[in-house]
Amino acid sequence: MDVQNMEHVNNQNFFLGLGRRKRSSARITVLPKPKDSSESTFSCQINGQSFESYFQKDPFSLLKVQAPFKVIQEQDYPFLEVRVNVSGGGLSSQADAIRLALSKALIQMQPNLRQLLRQAGFLTSDARRKERKKYGLKKARKAPQFSKR
């Protein structure tokens, strides 16, 4: 943890969120700051990369991550710096985990956003997981080919 993060820990100026989906897990830190001269209302770093470069091969996942920002963009909120650590799973499940964690962190920051994010469906965790393989089958449900003779 560097010196800048220690200042935020002491001042309690940051908000944390944790999201999971399938095998992926995302930890998010949201730092509200005064708005700079940039057009964007947020900057996002995912595992040290910008979120555009992290999700460049999957534009649908990029839209999933941007969705909570579009909901709060209609409101007047400060510039947000978002740092994400995500691991496990594929890009799609990582994007869902990031979206859930970001929504939880935004609610910590502004509790009145809960209704907006709930209506958009960003606070609902997708509980589906991979089904285990069963004995005598090739996969969870795939059976070997049946031969009558």
What is residue 75's predicted lDDT score, i.e. its pLDDT? 67
Q: What is the mean pLDDT of the chain?
A: 84
- Give the burial class of 82: count Cβ atoms within 10 A of its Cβ; 0-12 exposed, 13-18 middle, 19 or more buried: buried
pLDDT band at 11 (very low <50, low <70, confident <90, very high): low
Query: Sign of torsion, CA 73 111 27 82?
Result: positive
Whole-angstrom distance, CA of residue 108 vs CA of residue 101: 11
Encoding tokens for residue 132? 């285990």
Residue range 12-26: average pLDDT? 90
What fold does the segment set 3-120 form as a domain?
Ribosomal Protein S5; domain 2 (3.30.230)
Q: What pLDDT band is residue 8 in, cutting at 50, 70 and 90?
A: very low
pLDDT at residue 1, rounded to an integer: 35
| pTM to 2 decimal places | 0.81
pLDDT in tens, 33-74: 766 555 667 788 899 998 889 988 888 998 998 888 888 776
User: Which of 50, 59, 130 lies closest to 91, judged by CA?
Assistant: 59
Task: Kindly report, residue by residue over 90-108, the tens digit of the pLDDT.
Answer: 999 999 999 999 999 999 9
Are 8 and 88 contacting, i.e. CB atoms less than 8 angstroms apart?
Answer: no
